[in-house]
Amino acid sequence: MSRVVSDSAAQNLCFAIIDFLAQESEANLESLSFLRLSKIAGKQAADAELLRALAILVGTRVRALESHFYFIDEDEAEYQVDKTAVSEARRSGVFIHPHKGDPVENFEDHLVMYFSPTQRVLDLKRGSE
Amino acid sequence: MSAIAISDKNITLAALQSIAKGSTASSIHLDVISVATYSDFVSVVERAVHFALRKLSLNPELRQEHSEDQLTIEVVNMLSTFDLDAAHEAKVGGHCDISINGPYDFLWLGEAKKHVQAYAWLLQGFQQLDARYSTGLAGQDTGGLIVYSNYPRIDKTMASWRQHLLDHHPNISCEEVCEQTASFLSAHVHQGTGRNLSVRHFACSLYFRPTDQDKKKKDKSK
């Protein structure tokens, strides 16, 4: 990790999350919210430092986490959403409700990001058990 | 530093964008996390390259004698601070000046040239990128050519370079000319794969000739 990032604050956040991934059971790693990752990293708030740590962990050099999205509509119903659909919506400015088929106003207020370990991390965990 | 209190319902994409607002680095970090398509990846890379070149242009007086390699290593170091997987002269069909690896086997390659009056030197860089380094494969069919220039009016340099490219390369198109950055996008058929290869041509002005020093010299000579 020190070869990948020299900033010690970012290193510490990354190490905290990696330690958690190594120690926790697979079942508890399926859906890691910002809330959980913030607490694991010892942060009181989601901030730019946490964004940086997650960019490192998702990025090509480390590849420890993958990001995903789900959509929460006005009725609080939750729907898994493909990242390419989110990418297209951010590009076009239009997001279609996955169930109702209508455009969603201010869709970015209804999209929530979460994370899971990559297959690489899961294979390493299984190999070490 | 902007922060969002911890409550899952708050940490929406909009909330993350507000954290990143005003910071190019944070904005790039958020986009790195969300990359889903090659277009997303290229967008992140190009924003980071533009940012790095603007940083170089901030102190041109320190870089007048810098070689192409020295300038490019500075760019690569800055790209790495965005936590992009960037390298200088990695082996890709040869030693490409800048290579950036992304998820899903995405790849962006860049060549960098210091403009020295004749445009043949820039054309050589473009041809290296096109015929020697680029794979032209899906997810790897966009690259960049960085033009460093110590000469005045880089907008005119880029316009002349664009014309030179059109005159000397068959069936190439140039579009998306950006007045703010003097950059443009070229596209042509890659000979290896038959796919379109897009190349963003970036401008980096290192012009430095302060006129106040000329005035001081004149005053001293009186």
Across B95-109, B156-170, B207-221, least confident range: B207-221
Q: How many alpha carbons lie under 13 Å from residue A106 in its C-beta half-sphere?
A: 7
- Is residue B200 within a helix (H) or strand (E), and if so which, with residue range? strand B196-205
Q: Could you tell me the end-to-end alpha-carbon distance of chain A, in angstroms, rounded to an integer?
A: 23
pLDDT for A10 equals 85
Whether the pLDDT of residue B89 is over 90: the answer is no
Q: Which residues pair with A45 in a beta bridge?
A: B5
Question: Within an 8 Å CB–CB cutoff, is residue A109 touching chain B?
Answer: yes
B91 falls in which pLDDT band (50, 70, 90)? confident
Residues of B in contact with A48 (CB under 8 A): 1-3, 19-20, 23, 25-26, 29
How many angstroms separate the CA atoms of B178 and B184, rounded?
6
Reported ipTM: the value is 0.91
Q: b/e string for B83-121 if b means 16 or more Cβ within 10 A?
A: bbbbbbebebeeebbbbbbbbeebbbbbbbbbbeeebee
Find out whether B29 and A55 touch, Cβ atoms under 8 Å: yes
pTM for the model stands at 0.89
What is the structure's pLDDT at B1?
Answer: 46
Q: Name the average pLDDT for chain B.
A: 90
Interface contact B34-A5, CB threshold 8 A: no
- Residues from chain B that touch A119, judged by Cβ atoms under 8 A, are none
Other CB atoms within 10 Å distance of the CB of residue B156: 11
**Contacts with A34 (C-beta within 8 Å, 6 or more apart), sequence order:** A46, A50, A113, A114, B6, B8, B11
B111 backbone dihedrals φ, ψ, rounded to 5°: -110, 150
Work out the end-to-end distance of chain B between its first and last CA atoms, rounded to an integer number of angstroms: 53
pLDDT digits (tens, 9 = 90+) for B119-156: 999 999 999 999 999 999 999 999 999 999 999 999 99
Lowest model confidence (mean pLDDT) among A18-22, B43-47, B174-178, B211-215: B211-215
Q: Please report residues of A whose CB lies closer than 8 A to that of B28.
A: 55
* Interface subset of A 49-108, CB within 8 angstroms of B: 49, 51-52, 54-56, 58-61, 63, 67, 69, 72, 82-84, 86-87, 91, 106, 108
What average pLDDT score do residues B153-165 get? Answer: 96
pLDDT value for B170: 79
Where does B59-153 have alpha helices with state H?
A: 68-81, 120-127
B interface residues, A as partner, C-beta within 8 Å: 1-9, 11-17, 19-20, 23, 25-26, 28-30, 32-37, 39-40, 82-85, 101-103
**Could you give the 3-state DSSP secondary structure of residue B112?**
strand
The tens digit of pLDDT for each residue in A60-84 reads: 889 999 999 999 999 999 999 999 9
**CB contacts, 8 Å: B4 with chain A:** 45-47
Q: What is the pLDDT of residue B67?
A: 95
Measure the CA–CA gap between B108 and A74, rounded to whole angstroms: 40
In this structure, of A10-19, A84-93, A102-111, A119-128, the range with the lowest mean pLDDT score is: A119-128
Q: How far apart are CA B83 and CA B30, in angstroms?
A: 11
Q: Is A51 in contact with B84 (Cβ distance < 8 A)?
A: no
Q: What percentage of chain B reaches a pLDDT higher than 70?
A: 91
Q: Are B98 and B112 in contact (CB under 8 A)?
A: yes
**Is A49–B29 a contact, with Cβ atoms under 8 angstroms apart?**
no
The SS3 assignment for B116 reads strand
* CB B55 within 8 Å of CB B76: no
